[in-house]
Amino acid sequence: MTETPALPVSATGPQRTHPTTVLVHVFRSVPVIVGVGVVVIAQSGGAVLSGLPVGRAVLFGALLLIAVAALVGIGGYLSWSRRFYHFDEAGDLRVDSGVITRTQRRLALSRLQSVDVTQPLLARLVGMAEIRVEVAGTGDSRVVLQYLTLTEAQRLRDEVLARAAGLRPDVGTAPQNVLVSVPTGDLGLSLLLSSTTLVGVLATAAIVALAVLTEGAVGLLGLLVTGGVPIFSAFGQFVRFFGFTVAESPDGLRLRSGLTSTQAQTVPPGRVHAIEYEQPLLWRYKDWVRVQLTVAGAASEENQQGAGTTGVLLPVAPREVAEAVVDRVLPGLAVADLEWTPAPARARLRAPIQWRLLATAADGRVFAARRGRLVRRLALVPHARTQSVHLTQGPWQRRLGLASVRLDIAPGPIDVRALHQDADAARSQADAQALRAKAARSSAGPDRWMSRPRTDAGLDGVS
């Protein structure tokens, strides 16, 4: 690692987030308070309110709501007034927080994995944004600052990226070059054709058929589930992936999307640990694919929530477009030239549906594994990202002389499994992969990516 010259410390010293934060937190808690109130009233069978005139009851409820909201506000104010962020002498981001127990967190920006600026709906209405900075590390290695004005959040993101890259902190926003925008029509259609929707439609049809045949209406209640879940899931994805754009800049990849709340994720060069193409059954005739990515630190528990990174590089795109984008993310993979080793024909006794699709390949740069029948998956992992290798064999596999290989990579949406390969081949594959992983580490780029020679600038060359 090269020695980084001392970078100027923040001119302003420790800073607080924007005061509006407190208000946003209070407003965000209102539905929760009301919800709890309704549940309490319902639980008591309305006994809490009995004997009160309606006007009184409403007034009482409103006062209670205001009181609880005020408490939330006081708590929010205390926590807000004791939360500071600044850049220290070493150029790392420091966040001090905590009302009673003080916590100091220091993020080593040389290990930056991604920076997200997101605007949850409520914050967006008042022009606020939150920024989350992820560095590599096991456990809790991120910092979320809520809320800053959108301009301040973007400025902070630029500063984090500049410092992480080894540039002066005040270089401003790096120029970007849009690679793909996902058309709204394609997104909508792709979600209608997705597997969840398909399963929902089939299940709905089955229930209707059953209800008609048995003349029982009870089964129709199931429609709420079979019809509701796919609609809910598809709608959620539509809102989240609306207006999805992938752009590249010297800072790395920029992913932006969102209809109600918006997110903008920046992944610096060389932080991508794995890529996976995913193709549900009905996308096949359009030859559309979804591309997922794993970035160290952006762990999956966050994906369940509304904001934050989703592990999706492209929600839907024609295959050639997706491949072009992946080529920018992991340059020079030559996936088309990989020599695939399919699973032996006896694997159909273990995996009757997907055995034809099972295959694995590896070249000097990347390990690849293909699986799935209804949803086809193709995962790619650069050797430098392989953390460890698992070889497993169940009793039935042993009878058939099969074994599976799994690569352990940073936590994320991608599972890399070469299933049901010939047992001896799988063992040699596992051994060979451990050696490849070891050999690949030396060629990894520097952490401060702008400090590498200009000729080897990777993403720089194309912007």
Partner 1 sequence: MSAVDRVFAPPSEPWRRVSPRLTSARRLVLVVTLTLVTVLVVAALTLPSLGGDEALIPTWIPAAVAAVGLVVGAWGWWLVGRRVRSYGYCERADDLLVTSGIMFRRLVIVPYGRMQLVDVTAGPLDRAFGITTVQLHTAAATSDAAIPGLPPDEAAALRDRLAAIGEQRSAGL
Residue 381 pairs in a beta bridge with 367
Token output for 342: 């399919």
Distance from C-alpha of 422 to C-alpha of 345, rounded to nearest angstrom: 10
Shortest gap between Cβ of 451 and partner 1 (angstroms)?
15
Distance of CA 241 to the CA centre of its chain: 12
Nearer to partner 1, 103 or 392 (CB): 392
Nearer to partner 1, 297 or 308 (CB): 297
Nearer to partner 1, 12 or 442 (CB): 442
Angle between helices 20-43 and 54-81 (to 10 degrees): 140
Nearer to partner 1, 330 or 389 (CB): 389
Nearer to partner 1, 201 or 434 (CB): 434
Nearer to partner 1, 28 or 452 (CB): 452
Angle between helices 184-192 and 222-241 (to 10 degrees): 160
Q: Are 389 and 409 in contact (CB under 8 A)?
A: no
Shortest gap between Cβ of 42 and partner 1 (angstroms)?
37
Shortest gap between Cβ of 403 and partner 1 (angstroms)?
6
Nearer to partner 1, 128 or 381 (CB): 381
Shortest gap between Cβ of 155 and partner 1 (angstroms)?
27
Enumerate binding residues for partner 1 (CB under 8 A).
111, 113, 136, 138, 296, 384, 386-395, 398, 401, 403, 406, 408-411, 423-424, 426-427, 430-431, 433-435, 437-438, 441-442, 444, 447
Distance from C-alpha of 369 to C-alpha of 379, rounded to nearest angstrom: 5
Q: Are 405 and 417 in contact (CB under 8 A)?
A: yes
Distance from C-alpha of 94 to C-alpha of 14, rounded to nearest angstrom: 9
Residue 180 pairs in a beta bridge with 246
What DSSP state is assigned to residue 15? B
Strands 262-267 and 252-257: antiparallel
Shortest gap between Cβ of 275 and partner 1 (angstroms)?
16
Shortest gap between Cβ of 300 and partner 1 (angstroms)?
10
Long-range CB contacts (within 8 A, 24+) of 349-354:
349/396, 349/400, 350/396, 350/397, 350/400, 350/402, 350/420, 351/419, 351/420, 354/419
Distance from C-alpha of 377 to C-alpha of 458, rounded to nearest angstrom: 27
Q: What angle is formed at CA 258 by the lines to CA 312 and CA 304, rounded to 5 degrees?
A: 55
Nearer to partner 1, 61 or 411 (CB): 411
Shortest gap between Cβ of 302 and partner 1 (angstroms)?
14
Shortest gap between Cβ of 387 and partner 1 (angstroms)?
4
